[in-house]
Structures are given as C-alpha cells and as structure tokens.
Amino acid sequence: MKRYPDCEREDENCAACALANYNRDCHNNPISNLAYYRGVTGLSQSQLAEKAGISTRTLQDYEQGRKPLDRAAADTVKRLAKALGVSVEDLI
C-alpha cells in the first residue's frame, strides 16, 4: 500500500524520493534519520536489518517510531550506524 496516493516511486521509499528533503518527505512529513540514511544508501529494510544483525520487524519499529532508537541497545545503534556508513550521532 502506498503511503500517499500520488506517490510516483514504484518502491514507495519516501526517504529515497527525489522530492524529499532531509528528514522530510514530499508531503513535508517527518522521516526518521534511520529511514533517511537507509534511503540514501539504497538498502531495503531487509538488507539493512541483515547487515546490522537485527530483525526486519525491529528495524521497521525504529523507522516508524514505534520503538525509540535512542532507547535501543548501544550495540544495536552502533551496528546500524556501521551498516549505513554514518555516525551514531547522525542516527540519533
């Protein structure tokens, strides 16, 4: 299901959309830093989850704010940052 009916991306990845600005999608809604950097790298949720050694469901929970990333285990945040090639500070 598309996030927005007018979405032009086949993969519906708002964070990778050319119409998105840093941390905002094309409708000016916030995108988590995690989703933003994942979109920049071009990784799917399952690819990033595998690289970081976490479940795809957990990654989705962090991206969508159901679980706050700043309360995640330090090791988890470090592995996500390393997999994305960014600093821990960039994610949080």
Contact 90, 33 (CB under 8 A): yes
46-86 pLDDT, tens per residue?
999 999 999 999 999 998 888 999 999 999 999 999 999 99
The domain covering 14-91 belongs, at the CATH homologous superfamily level, to: lambda repressor-like DNA-binding domains (1.10.260.40)
Reduced to 3 states (helix: H, G, I; strand: E, B; else coil), residue 88 is helix
- Per the CB < 8 A criterion, the answer to whether 60 and 45 are in contact is yes
Task: Give me the residue spans of the domains in the chain.
Answer: 14-91
pTM score, whole prediction? 0.76
